[in-house]
Amino acid sequence: MDSTSTAARTVKTGFAFFDLQAQFATIRHEILQAVESVLESQHFILGQQVELFEKDAAAYVEAPYAVGCASGTDALYLALCAEGVGPGDEVITTPFTFVATAGSIARTGATPVFVDIDPDTFNIAPDLVRKAVTEKTRAIVPVHLFGLAAELRPIQKVAEEHSLAVIEDAAQAIGATYRGQKVGSIGNFGCFSFFPSKNLGCAGDGGMVTARDGGMADRLYLLRAHGTRRKYHSEIIGMNSRLDALQAAILRVKIRYLDAWTKARRDRAALYAQLFDQYDLTSFIKSPSAPSHSGHVYNQYVIRSDDRDALRDYLQEHGVPTAIYYPEPLHLQPAFAYLGYSKGSMPEAEKACLNSLALPIYPELPAEDQERVVRSIADFYKSQVHKTRGN
Ligand SMILES: Cc1ncc(COP(=O)(O)O)c(C=O)c1O
């Protein structure tokens, strides 16, 4: 997601890892109309389009307040600032995520405290969260990775016991549910990204913070616009992180299709599972787990294989695009070396970096492409058996 090109097509075969053009073709007319109306108005910063989108998005996420901002990264930073997190504080999070999660914590001056993941879900392990709480802990940032809700109930319990804020990183998970509730409406804050490859993507960068509390929402409105309620009068130190009116207008069109696109993603995940069965692959690869109390939205479809690198090379040679999210855990990256973690300290996250592989998934993905992906995986394992026999 993140750094990949937003039009990630493999030139050789035309087979797409994801295909935003296919989606645009279905809503082209409405998007162009929305863009045209903003251009006609010449009103580009905040204003009616942003307010209307914030209303639609709050209703969609089932959160009392939604505040548009410039990116998912800023959404995290703004939520942390609204909560008053800063130097001397510790914030617990996962090392198996996009860098923005921990980077935003570090930017406030607080210390990111990494805890390992549950190997089954890729999400932060709640029992380890409990063990990591100290006197200095101020907040927990669980990430709903790949579109699957983190195990929030025990995390909320720890937070309540120690008066900590829960800031959900829902950048990859708009529409996902946890025990019947939408993610982003459960913790104190929900942080969303509208990066183009997200399930609800705009035409550039965009983000949003949801909040349960009106006072916190008010702080977010202030923080995203230089601390000002009226022009040239700053109540607090803020920043410039506004959602553009053009992006809001586009998002207002797209949010109406989001449930249908989520259903299409779920159908494609179900087809992968069926094909893995059909091709007898279930002992070689592990498909993503989806606990019955969670509604997965499959921003990514990530399998695990002990032969990941060889499998990926084979698929690439046969024109099947894949991606690795994430090749390196955050606690071992140079940017976080100052925290002093060593190799082996988060074994499950480190293992996930070595054996996880994302397969193509997007709402318009043709069934024939999925069949080709799975057939190629089966061919790889057949070739492995032949190699072993040949030795
Ligand atoms: C888990 C996670 N958190 C935060 C972000 C940051 O969002 P943005 O790219 O909109 O700044 C992303 C984006 O890829 C993400 O995947």
pLDDT (0 to 100) of residue 389: 62
Report the Cα–Cα distance between both ends of the chain, in Å, rounded.
Answer: 39
Ligand 1 in reach of 169 Cβ (< 6 A): yes
pLDDT (0 to 100) of residue 377: 98
Alpha carbon 50 to chain centroid distance? 22
pLDDT (0 to 100) of residue 5: 44
Ligand 1 in reach of 143 Cβ (< 6 A): yes
Atom nearest to 193 CA in ligand 1:
10
**Residue 3 class from Cβ within 10 Å (0-12 exposed, 13-18 middle, 19+ buried)?**
exposed
Q: What one-letter code names the amino acid at 204?
A: G
Atom nearest to 97 CA in ligand 1:
1
Integer Cα distance of 306 and 354 in angstroms: 8
Atom nearest to 100 CA in ligand 1:
4
Spans of the chain below 70 pLDDT: 1-14, 388-391
3 state SS for 113-155: EECCECCCCCCECHHHHHHHCCCCEEEEECECHHHCCCCHHHH
Q: Cα of 2 to ligand 1 centre, how many Å?
A: 7
**Residue 327 class from Cβ within 10 Å (0-12 exposed, 13-18 middle, 19+ buried)?**
exposed
Asked if 68 and 75 touch (Cβ cutoff 8 Å), the reply is no
3-class SS of residue 15: coil
pLDDT (0 to 100) of residue 2: 46
In this structure, the number of other CB atoms found within 10 A of the CB of residue 318 comes to: 16
pLDDT (0 to 100) of residue 319: 95
Q: Give me Rg for the CA atoms of the chain.
A: 21
Per-residue model confidence as pLDDT tens digits over 195-211: 999 999 999 999 999 99
